[in-house]
Structure 1
Amino acid sequence: MPCTTILVGKNASYDGSTIIARNEDSPSGQFNAKRMRVVHPQDQPRHYRSVLSHVEIDLPDNPQRYTSVPDADGKEGIWASAGINESNVAMSATETLTSNERVLGADPLVELEAARGVEGEEGYVPERPGGIGEEDLVTLVLPYVRSAREGVRRLGALLEEFGTYEMNGIAFSDVDEVWWLETVGGHHWIARRVPDDCYVTMPNQLGIDDFDLDDALDSQRDFMCSADLAEWMDANHLDLTLDLDLWDDEGDEAAEAPRIFNPRDAFGSHSDADHVYNTPRAWSMHRFLAPHEGWEGPAAAWGPESDDIPWCLIPERKVTIEDVKYVLSLHYQGTEFDPYGHKGTEASRGAYRPIGINRNCQLAVLQISPNLPESCRAIQWMAFGCNAFNALVPLFANVDETPEYLSNTNAHHVSTESFYWANRLVAALADAHFNDCAAHVERYQLAVGSKGHALVAKACREAGQLPYEKATATLQEANAQISDMLREETDGLLSNVLYSASMGMRNAFSRSDG
């Protein structure tokens, strides 16, 4: 699944929040309609069976309530995508990652193998289920964890037991920490805590570029991994770190140093396809958040095709929710690569895959704020459809249901009664008339964001003194008010964009009747 992720540590964000955010993009040639819902403990399965891989897993009997953003039709499973549970733990799953032949040969992916022959006859081979994947992960993990670290450990144990059929990156956060887990082959995994003063960019490519194996296998202060990672790497010669410090200046053998390696070199890829599809997205995000690090010109430290673009950096100013939305909507504005721009050539304007594209399904920005009471500190900001033309709206996670405008998506019926389909219509109209519609979109984004912040602040004043469970009704009413505002603003945008696009139709004539 092509996606883009940004993670923000608490000291890098504008208000001390932890923030994890991801675009979910559909595969080429299709759209995956999305909706938002709340899953209650009584609705959580106790025995889970994956639609795609047929793996079956018994689940604990103590799930928590959690929010999710599943597929509207469910034909390929739940695909819960992103959510926040009652313990104010957030999870986003998943960012599809690249790998290489050495890794996949050393620990093959666990793929579904169909039955062969006829049951009861000689030579019959029963079906072999596959592992777990993006369809399953939020459902299997988020209801059962009470911290980001616990999320990493639960998912890691599931990967070791059941394996996976795809390479993925998964984010976890709580009020203090952000963790990023990457699957490595069929059963192995690594995870790193995002430094509190940094942000992370992830564009469909295995990203962690610095890993302390000693810490991961001992104190686990900032790193975690599967228990046999070191032995497996050694047995398969996966560590590509040069042994430059084996000897000291006197020619004697040096003391043993901490084992630090680059997972991107060991487990990832540096392909030609990466240079078109993946690395340019990381470059564009860093170019906005750390503009003076050197991203353009002959002396630039990193270009859009550089293989060593940093996984994390300290931003040049604190990162806001609006910054997160902007970078996850980027289409190379201000460069020769912008498909809506006038710089460069027709070839350069289509050279690299943008972040904000027609196949964006949903964007979930999961914010856990330390400045708000526990009852209302978890906010799930949502957008549907193409991020170049939509707006991000805040919704409280401590609720029993989500507004109908965001939950009523019908995968087979287009309607302006649905926030998902309204955004799809806006984007389809505005894309072909970008310059005529850009001002409408900008005013819409400003209005939704401004009114959203104001309604969140009002609700927190009202619910902030209430215990967690007693604040739910107040926050649910606030979400309803936010949804009403959102629908009014979205209907207004659709009206303005429809008018501008209609005036730009080719089948027009300047002389009026009369």
Structure 2
Amino acid sequence: MPCTTLLVGKDASFDGSTIIARNEDSGNGTFNPKRFVVVNPEDQPHTYKSVLAHLTIDLPDNPLRYTAVPNAITNEGIWAEAGVNEENISMSATETLTTNERVLGADPFVTYEPEKGKPGDDGYEPELIGGIGEEDMVTIVLPYIHSAREGVLRLGKLLEQYGTYEMNGIAFNDVNEIWWLETVGGHHWIAKRVPDNMYVTMPNQLGIDSFDFEDAFGERENYMCSVDMKQFVADNHLDLTLEGHAFNSREAFGSHSDSDHVYNTPRAWAMQRFLNPHAIQWDASDALLTPASDDIPWGRVPERKVTIEDVKYALSLHYQGTRYDPYGRDGAATRGMYRPIGINRNSQLSVVEIRPDVDDRYAAIQWLAFGSNVFNALVPFYANVTTTPEYLSNTTAQVTTESFYWANRIIAGLADAHFHECQAGIERYQEKMGGIGHQIIHETDAAADQQVADVKPLLEAGNQKVADYLKRETDSLLSKVLYEASMGMKNGFSKDDM
């Protein structure tokens, strides 16, 4: 899936939280309606069967409860995408990555092949089972891990055992650490801990730009990898770094194609331009880094601490303030030149913060937005719950304003052609819902802090309060956008017909 990821270390975030955030985007020409649900232990399968790869995996006993953002239409599987388990461990999977021919030749993907012919016939070939992929990863990993580091190790073991049919980036966080794992070919992987004082930007491209094998095969303080990775690199001549330089995993395992310079690298450039506006002259003709640069760093120390609102803005970017903005009035020749982060195909944005300064019972917040991020609002929900509000969980294939997903999709479809007329109203909606969300968190935190008994009913009530406000304000915005779109119709005429 085409996606964009932003990770924020605890010393770089506004409140000391670790934050992992990712847009899930549907493929070109498709939309994937999304739901927000809780998977209770009794609903977790003991034997998992993938739809796309026809792979069967026996899962451990005693799964943890967890939240998820699965597809509403399950003909291609679950695609749980992002969630938090009851021990406040979060996972986001996956960011589809790029690679190169040398990697694929050395360790091909494990792809599903249907059977050919019928058993007993000449030339019959049985089906070949595929590996694991985005469809599967949250479901087979998140309910069984007790730290971010443990998430890396469990997923790494599964990759080595079953392989994968695609290149993927996966984020894990707990209250102390964020880890980022990247698959390499069919069975190999590397992982790096996000430095506490940095943020990381990830478009659909292998991103880790330095890797320490000594640590990965020693203390594993900041790096981990598959058991034979060092030998794999040596045997297949994948190390392209010159003598005396540190190993560059992006050069070894990644890509820098012409399409990267239109589709991928501009998104990393845009996010870092926003979060570090004074680091370089981003828009100069001789800028050190441009939208087509292959050496945009994996992570940076921000110029100030990063807020939830910064994360939402960064993951909604459409190159505002540049000549590449598809909604801009300047730069006709370059307008819409690069793939936006806030794109029509955004399915959902999940921003998970694990807070260090509150009780563990309500420390995890999963902020959610559905539909195109340019036109939607990000709102918070407590993760330590057993159910979610119907407005977010009731998504089906039917288009209806009773669903948060479809209401946002309708708003975006109407507002896009009337962007400048609708922009102010959309910004007010986003700000209002963000303020309401923070207010309800403060109020619910205070009430939960006085609660000795089970706090889940209290958190669920807080979530419902957010959802009720959200529906009211979303319906109101839809009315305003519909009015603007109707007044801008081509068959309008100024003479009053009354």
Aligned to 2:497: 513
Distance 1:124 1:504 in 2: 61
Shift of 1:504: 1.1
Aligned to 1:157: 157
Deviation track 1:351-388 (CA, whole Å, cap 9, x = no partner) reads: 10000010000000011000111111100000000000
Aligned to 2:203: 203
Whether 1:283 aligns to 2:269 is yes
Whether 1:378 aligns to 2:364 is yes
Aligned to 1:426: 411
Whether 1:329 aligns to 2:316 is yes
| 3-state secondary structure, aligned to 1:352 | coil
Aligned to 1:395: 381
Residue among 407, 411, 423 paired with 1:438: 423
Aligned to 2:37: 37
Aligned to 1:416: 401
Aligned residue runs from structure 1 range 77-476, under 5 A:
77-121=77-121, 123-244=123-244, 260-294=246-280, 295-345=282-332, 347-411=333-397, 413-466=398-451, 470-476=454-460
| 3-state secondary structure, aligned to 1:459 | helix
| 3-state secondary structure, aligned to 1:6 | strand
| 3-state secondary structure, aligned to 1:399 | coil
Whether 1:47 aligns to 2:34 is no
Deviation track 1:55-81 (CA, whole Å, cap 9, x = no partner) reads: 110000110000000000100000000
Q: Is the 8 A contact 1:375 1:466 kept in 2?
A: no
Distance 2:68 2:449 in 1: 24
Aligned to 1:478: 462
Q: Is the 8 A contact 1:169 1:180 kept in 2?
A: yes
Distance 1:509 1:165 in 2: 55
Deviation track 1:430-454 (CA, whole Å, cap 9, x = no partner) reads: 0000000001100000110001100
| 3-state secondary structure, aligned to 1:219 | coil
Distance 1:486 1:364 in 2: 16
Distance 1:112 1:419 in 2: 35
| Alignment RMSD (CA, Å) | 1.0
| 3-state secondary structure, aligned to 1:22 | strand
Q: Which amino acid aligns with 1:512?
A: D
Distance 1:385 1:466 in 2: 36
| 3-state secondary structure, aligned to 1:111 | coil
Distance 1:437 1:462 in 2: 38
Shift of 1:298: 3.1
Deviation track 1:375-427 (CA, whole Å, cap 9, x = no partner) reads: 1110000000000000001000011111000000112x110000000000100
Deviation track 1:229-270 (CA, whole Å, cap 9, x = no partner) reads: 00011000001111147xxxxxxxxxxxxxx41111000000
| 3-state secondary structure, aligned to 2:278 | helix
Q: Which amino acid aligns with 2:325?
A: D
| 3-state secondary structure, aligned to 2:362 | coil
Shift of 1:122: 5.0
Change (3 A) 1:213 1:466: farther
Q: Is the 8 A contact 1:373 1:465 kept in 2?
A: no
Provide the identity percentage. Answer: 65
Deviation track 1:136-160 (CA, whole Å, cap 9, x = no partner) reads: 0000000000100000000000000
Distance 2:20 2:139 in 1: 18
Q: Is the 8 A contact 1:375 1:464 kept in 2?
A: no
Distance 1:512 1:465 in 2: 61
Deviation track 1:160-190 (CA, whole Å, cap 9, x = no partner) reads: 0000000000000000000000000000000
Distance 1:499 1:375 in 2: 44
| 3-state secondary structure, aligned to 2:99 | coil
Distance 1:428 1:123 in 2: 50
Q: Is the 8 A contact 1:336 1:348 kept in 2?
A: yes
Q: Is the 8 A contact 1:78 1:135 kept in 2?
A: yes
Shift of 1:123: 4.3
Q: Is the 8 A contact 1:35 1:70 kept in 2?
A: yes
Q: Is the 8 A contact 1:206 1:269 kept in 2?
A: yes
| 3-state secondary structure, aligned to 2:311 | helix
Aligned to 1:254: none
Deviation track 1:291-333 (CA, whole Å, cap 9, x = no partner) reads: 1111220342201100000000000000000000000000000
Give TM-score scaled by structure 1 length: 0.95
Q: Which amino acid aligns with 1:319?
A: V
Q: Is the 8 A contact 1:293 1:301 kept in 2?
A: no
Runs of 4+ in 1 over 4 A off after TM superposition: none
| 3-state secondary structure, aligned to 1:343 | coil
Q: Is the 8 A contact 1:393 1:452 kept in 2?
A: yes
Q: Which amino acid aligns with 1:129?
A: I
Shift of 1:16: 0.1
Q: Which amino acid aligns with 1:149?
A: R
Give TM-score scaled by structure 2 length: 0.99
| 3-state secondary structure, aligned to 2:21 | strand
Unaligned runs of 5+ in 2: none
Unaligned runs of 5+ in 1: 246-259
| 3-state secondary structure, aligned to 1:422 | helix
Q: Which amino acid aligns with 1:474?
A: L
Distance 2:295 2:156 in 1: 27
Distance 1:133 1:315 in 2: 32
Distance 1:244 1:141 in 2: 38
